[in-house]
Structure 1
Amino acid sequence: GPEIGQCCGGRVRLMLKELDDKGKAELIAEEAKRLIGLPEVLILGAGHVGRALAYAFAPLPVRAKLIDSRAEELARAPNGTEKICTPLPEAELRKASAGAAYIVATHEHSLDFLLTQEALARTDAAYVGMIGSKTKRAKFESWAVGGTGALMCPMAAAHKGDRRPEVIAAFVVAEVLMALTKAHSKELADE
């Protein structure tokens, strides 16, 4: 830093090492262990918004899972994304870790309603969001069993105008990261 006129210091040293099979296995196991410790973000629906969310979450310190029953839509998701093809996405909701975030953006309103109800039933969710409008939220509230106060719908409500999937994803990612940070801060305070 100082040699090039930057006020922040520090140096980086790179070391390249060729790994044998044992070293590769150890590195893979270490990475798997690191991923397990990250907060889960379940993206339910691999359509245009779900895929944009998968791209947006990819470089962030979360374990994003893109879940859909349509293999052809999951195949269009970015490489490196954890993809789960299942006819029962609610089962993935049930086995998610405590403090997970749930983003519901499927191809059917009825499926959105069922999955959102399932996510809201979890009392340990850091975030529950459903794609839609104020009208969709009102319809969901008239249908839902139990409270819907924790539901973010419409998601990215602070944003007006540009409805491109990538723009929606950017705002939703910000909402989710704020919720995860808040939930993590609360955990630390409770310890």
Structure 2
Amino acid sequence: MQDAPLKPFRFADAARMVRAGVPVAMVTIVEVKGSAPREAGIRMLVSADDLVGTIGGGHLEWRGMDIAREMLARGEPRRIERIPLGPALGQCCGGVVQLAFEVLGQADLAWLDAVERNFAAQRALQRQVPASGAVTFCDSRAVLAGVTLEADGSWTDTLVPDTMHVVLFGAGHVGHALVKVLATLPCRVHWVDERDTLFPGGLPDNIEAEASDTPEAVVAQAPGGSYFLVMTHSHALDQTLCEEILKRTDFAYFGLIGSKTKRARFEHRMAEHGIDPARFAEMTCPMGVPGITDKAPAMIAVAIVAQLLQVREQRLAALRAGRTEAVHP
């Protein structure tokens, strides 16, 4: 499909392509009946020679790309397409998928930019997309993300921020391995170390590196719902960061790299510094899903990312159940 690694869908990429004058279509799964490769609300961007995101791969994705490129060639602005996966495409899923196609242009920058602002503030945004004409949007009090398709071909699109904000302290071997994996996922990474020479050049757009003499100050500035990962070159700095993180009560995840012995020592020292021992259960140490014992940096990174994704799934499940703390940590 393309030689470069597939990039995850981001609304910021859609805005960037529109501003650059690249003809691009957004493809959204608006409804799923039965079994399908992906769920409603999943999107991808299609240009003449590029693809950002995926709606599940296989024949469904190829068909979506073909329709999107036909629309770009003809200048067709918007369309809903019903695709039975078995009869039409020969896929074994057997369900039926409704795809919405939108050719994006300058008029869409208003809502695309609004999405970025709202997501940065952990707020939802709701779009009203008519069968033809201008898209309207507003801040949404709705909690559940999803798409509601109407009989006239219009739809309501509720966009809820679910991107992980990862604050990674430490640019050692495991930190580098983590960044390589996180760069491919729907997340933003604030990568912090005292030593600026350790950061590689050409970082992906969703990775921000910061060389800081006071990394503990970054903890207070991080948004609510952040995923904190502590793995610096200094145990003393690790402990300082742990104490600063435990002063907060709004993080999604807090992990400290190390062994059970390191955890016990840190808990003892933090208790001496006045940290309530009842809070220690909120610190994950050792990090990573159980059952992976290999200590190679890449192996550790995969185990940690798998654990972050488990937490993300739990938070999204809470969001789908209508519990607002999943959106406003």
TM-score by length of 2: 0.49
Gaps of 5+ in 2: 1-58, 60-85, 121-160
Matches within 5 A, 1:25-174: 29=113, 32-33=116-117, 36=120, 37=161, 38-75=163-200, 78-80=203-205, 81-144=207-270, 145-147=275-277, 148-156=280-288, 158-174=290-306
Matched position secondary structure for 1:152: coil
Tell me if structure 2 keeps the 8 A contact 1:127–1:180: no
Q: Which residue of 2 aligns with 1:176?
A: 308
Tell me if structure 1 keeps the 8 A contact 2:183–2:204: no
Task: Give the structure with the larger strand fraction.
Answer: 2
Larger mean Cα displacement after TM superposition, 70-79 or 57-66: 70-79
Mapped to 2, the partners of 1:34 and 1:163 lie a distance apart of 39
Larger mean Cα displacement after TM superposition, 93-102 or 77-86: 77-86
Mapped to 1, the partners of 2:116 and 2:192 lie a distance apart of 19
How far did residue 13 of structure 1 move? 10
CA RMSD of aligned residues (A): 3.0
One-letter identity of the residue aligned with 2:256: M
How far did residue 30 of structure 1 move? 6.9
Q: Aligned residues: percent identity?
A: 33
Task: State the aligned residue count.
Answer: 188
Mapped to 2, the partners of 1:34 and 1:10 lie a distance apart of 29
TM-score by length of 1: 0.81
CA separation of 1:160 and 1:68: change in aligned 2, threshold 3 A: same
The structure with the larger Rg is 2
Tell me if structure 1 keeps the 8 A contact 2:178–2:305: yes
Matched position secondary structure for 2:246: helix
One-letter identity of the residue aligned with 2:257: I
Mapped to 2, the partners of 1:73 and 1:129 lie a distance apart of 22
Mapped to 2, the partners of 1:182 and 1:4 lie a distance apart of 33
Task: Give the structure with the larger helix fraction.
Answer: 1
